[in-house]
């Protein structure tokens, strides 16, 4: 979001929320105005008391009555302040909660490619710091705006009614204060946007560092990340110090100019009292009103600050909310009319992340229902991209990928993805128990959990963990070995009993004996169901009905493992090399 696009028009997106809580806001504003009215009445009690005392003829009963009246007014102020805080701040907190929930839901609706272009730390900053600033602008910002407007208008009317000449002289510094406020408002939004951007960069650094803590420590690179964080932390400090300097200049100037009004009031008002045009009580009341007027003047700076901050932050939130998913369900999803012979069919599929650099080039393939397909190829040959087109994690050209005889573009996304159980290369695990990770997203009983664990052979490792099933494995499975993480991920896919199971290099960190055990269990368990296995090991694929060999995104070989061995191509050469490695 460019700095010059910051505008209070961003608040249009909050109108539905404000309308929903309008009753609470109205009640809060009524209480706020009541507090203002009561506060404005207090100097009048003071005026009458001073005039009574200065007259030299008064009864204690009169002073007592005025004192009790002031206590009553201050009681209204006390309860009124509690109520407007309850209604207005309470509403802003509720709106913040709804916005955060809506933002989170929207982020989950965005497609895979969005997260390749945007950093997680920045998105977290928008969901925390930015929403806090939005909440302040529709809470205290609105309070300061209304309070300042009501107080200023009421005080100006009262002081001019009391003595217009004295009020006019005392208000001479006001135009300068107005100019300062206008200048302050034009600058603070841009500087706050800069502060939020640097906070996002700092969040990115922290998130990346702790997410990759294993790599950081294994390469002894703590010092490098400490320096990187120190640089972003200093940038954040500099951005905030620019705001501090601005505030440091603004408030003393406003205070100084406000002080001038007091000096002018004492000079002009004192003369008016001596001349008999004002009573001592009138002068004291006017002095109190001018002291009260300082808050609305200072509050104007707060309003400008909060509104600009809120607009800058809301612009960043709206930028995310206005982003549309690049992959969505069709308006009228179709359901396959009958069971197709092929679970997946690929028709001359070409795909590129970057125009002119195809990852897949004219790939055609049929995967019969209930078969096991192996996929082999060098790193970067397009294996993972190919299976991502099946679930529309990346979007293939229309009509090039069919699941159960229907183009993936015609499926409802949820229904399409429910057909698949996928274990991706990175075997991502959540900071939960082993049981929680296996049962993730499903309602399972103990027997189903144990069966899934037995199929992946993770059950034999449970005794090594302090709390068995309930052992918390840390973020991204930090406490597990690579092979254990892969087996937990395989169990997570198997427990759903998917129509099509995809294992994307999910046995690479598993030893040969465990691999054989898992594959034998899978062959038995998945009989009659479609299974796709990507691997760099020929031993993993030898039981497949067919093997697809990709080379630079093109189909290099395809056929049964025994046939590919006889052809003497890449599959046969790799099989020979791996056989020699086992014998060595």
Of the three residues 321, 350, 382, the one that is the final residue of a domain is 321
What whole-number distance in Å separates Cα of residue 370 and Cα of residue 51?
100
- Whether 332 is covered by a domain: the verdict is no
CATH number, domain with residue 148? 1.20.1560.10
Contact assessment for residue 225 and residue 250, using Cβ atoms and an 8 Å cutoff: no
- Same domain? 463 vs 554: yes
pLDDT in tens, 217-241: 666 778 888 888 898 899 889 888 8
Residue numbers of the domain that contains 566: 342-583
CATH of the domain at 408: 3.40.50.300
Same domain, 434 and 520: yes
Rounded to an integer, what distance in angstroms lies between the CA atom of residue 255 and that of residue 298? 8
pLDDT of amino acid 185: 63
**Is residue 153 in a domain?**
yes
Query: What CA–CA distance (Å, rounded) separates 503 from 274?
Result: 95
In a domain? residue 183: yes
What's the domain count of the chain? 2
The pLDDT assigned to 34 comes to: 93
Report the alpha-carbon distance of residue 75 to residue 39 in Å, rounded: 11
**pLDDT for the residue 135:** 92
Q: Decide which of 265, 290, 321 is a domain's last residue.
A: 321
- Round the average pLDDT of the chain to a whole number and report it: 84
The last residue of a domain, from among 290, 321, 352: 321
Residue-level pLDDT at 373: 94
Tell me the C-alpha distance between 150 and 40, whole Å: 10
CA quadruple 545, 551, 556, 561: dihedral positive or negative?
A: negative
Question: Are 508 and 439 part of one and the same domain?
Answer: yes
- Are 351 and 472 part of one and the same domain? yes
> Are residues 485 and 437 part of one domain?
yes
- If one counts every other C-beta atom within 10 angstroms of the C-beta of residue 58, the result is 13
Contact 363, 554 (CB under 8 A): yes
* Residues in CB range of 127: below 8 A, 6 or more apart: 100, 103, 104
pLDDT score, position 51: 78
In a domain, 3, yes or no: no
Please tell me whether residues 464 and 509 are part of one structural domain: yes
| 454 in the same domain as 390 | yes
For the chain (length 584 residues), average pLDDT per consecutive 10? 59 91 94 91 84 73 82 91 93 93 90 84 84 90 87 87 85 76 69 79 79 69 84 88 80 77 83 83 84 73 77 89 90 81 92 87 92 90 92 91 92 91 83 82 77 86 79 74 85 88 86 86 88 88 90 91 89 83 61
Work out the number of other CB atoms within 10 angstroms of the CB of residue 581: 8
Q: Assess if residue 371 is contained within a domain.
A: yes
In a domain, 54, yes or no: yes
Q: What is the distance between the alpha carbons of residues 551 and 573, in angstroms, rounded to a whole number?
A: 14
Per-residue pLDDT tens over the stretch 529-543? 999 999 888 888 888
**177 and 47 within one domain:** yes
pLDDT of residue 487: 87
Residue 186 and residue 243 in one domain: yes
For residues 226 and 357, membership in a common domain is answered with no
**Is 315 in the same domain as 353?**
no
Answer whether residue 333 is part of any domain.
no
For residue 6, being part of any structural domain is answered with: no
CA 420 distance to own-chain centroid? 28
**164 and 206: one domain?**
yes
- pLDDT at position 402, please? 93
pLDDT at 219 (0 to 100):
67
Query: Residue 189: its pLDDT value, please?
Result: 65
């Amino acid at each position: 979001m460019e700095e010059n696009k910051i505008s209070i028009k961003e608040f249009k997106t909050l109108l539905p929320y404000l309308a929903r809580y309008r009753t609470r806001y109205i009640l809060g504003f009524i209480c706020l105005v009541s507090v203002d009215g009561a506060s404005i009445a207090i100097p009048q009690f003071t005026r009458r008391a001073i005039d009574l005392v200065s007259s030299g003829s008064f009864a204690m009963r009169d002073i007592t009555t005025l004192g009790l009246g002031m206590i009553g007014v201050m009681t209204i102020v006390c309860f009124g302040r509690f109520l407007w805080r309850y209604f207005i701040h309470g509403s802003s907190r509720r709106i913040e909660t709804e916005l955060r929930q809506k933002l989170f839901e929207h982020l989950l609706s965005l497609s895979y490619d969005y997260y390749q272009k945007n950093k997680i730390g920045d998105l977290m900053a928008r969901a925390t710091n930015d929403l806090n600033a939005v909440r302040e602008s529709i809470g205290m910002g609105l309070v300061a705006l209304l309070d300042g407007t009501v107080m200023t208008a009421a005080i100006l009317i009262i002081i001019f009614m009391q003595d217009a000449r004295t009020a006019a002289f005392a208000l001479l510094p006001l135009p300068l204060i107005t100019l300062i406020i206008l200048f302050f408002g034009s600058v603070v939004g841009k500087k706050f946007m800069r502060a939020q951007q640097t906070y996002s960069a700092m969040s990115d650094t922290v998130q990346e560092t702790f997410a990759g803590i294993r790599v950081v420590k294994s390469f002894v690179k703590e010092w490098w990340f400490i320096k990187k964080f120190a640089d972003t932390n200093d940038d954040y400090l500099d951005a905030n110090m620019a705001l501090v300097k601005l505030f440091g200049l603004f408030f003393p100037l406003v205070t100084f100019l406000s002080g001038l009004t007091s000096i002018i009031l004492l000079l002009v008002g004192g003369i008016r009292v001596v001349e008999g045009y004002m009573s001592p009580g009138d002068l004291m009341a006017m002095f109190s009103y001018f002291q009260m007027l300082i808050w609305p003047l200072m509050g104007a700076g707060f309003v400008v600050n909060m509104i600009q901050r809120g607009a800058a932050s809301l612009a960043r939130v709206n930028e995310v909310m206005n982003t549309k998913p690049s992959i969505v369900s069709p308006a009228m999803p179709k359901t396959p009319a009958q069971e197709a012979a092929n679970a997946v069919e690929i028709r001359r599929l070409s795909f590129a992340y970057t125009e002119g650099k195809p990852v897949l080039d004219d790939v055609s393939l049929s995967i019969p229902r209930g078969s096991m397909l192996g996929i082999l190829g060098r790193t970067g040959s397009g294996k993972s991209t190919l299976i991502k087109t099946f679930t529309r994690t990346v979007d293939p050209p229309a009509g090039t990928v069919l699941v159960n005889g229907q183009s993936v573009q015609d499926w409802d996304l949820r229904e399409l993805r429910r057909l698949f159980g996928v274990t991706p290369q990175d075997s991502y695990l959540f900071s939960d128990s082993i049981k929680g990770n296996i049962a993730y997203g499903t309602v399972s009983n103990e027997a189903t959990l144990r069966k899934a664990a037995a199929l992946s052979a993770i059950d034999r490792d449970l005794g090594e963990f302090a709390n068995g099933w309930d052992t918390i494995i840390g973020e991204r499975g930090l406490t597990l070995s690579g092979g254990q993480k892969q087996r937990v991920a395989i169990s997570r896919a198997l427990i759903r009993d998917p129509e099509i199971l995809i294992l994307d290099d999910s046995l690479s960190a598993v030893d040969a004996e465990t691999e054989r055990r898992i594959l034998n269990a899978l062959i038995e368990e998945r009989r009659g169901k479609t299974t796709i296995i990507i691997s760099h090991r020929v031993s993993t694929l030898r039981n497949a009905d067919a093997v697809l060999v990709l080379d630079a995104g093109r189909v290099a070989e395809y056929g049964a493992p025994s046939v590919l061995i006889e052809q003497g191509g890449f599959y046969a050469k790799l099989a020979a090399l791996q056989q020699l490695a086992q014998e060595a």
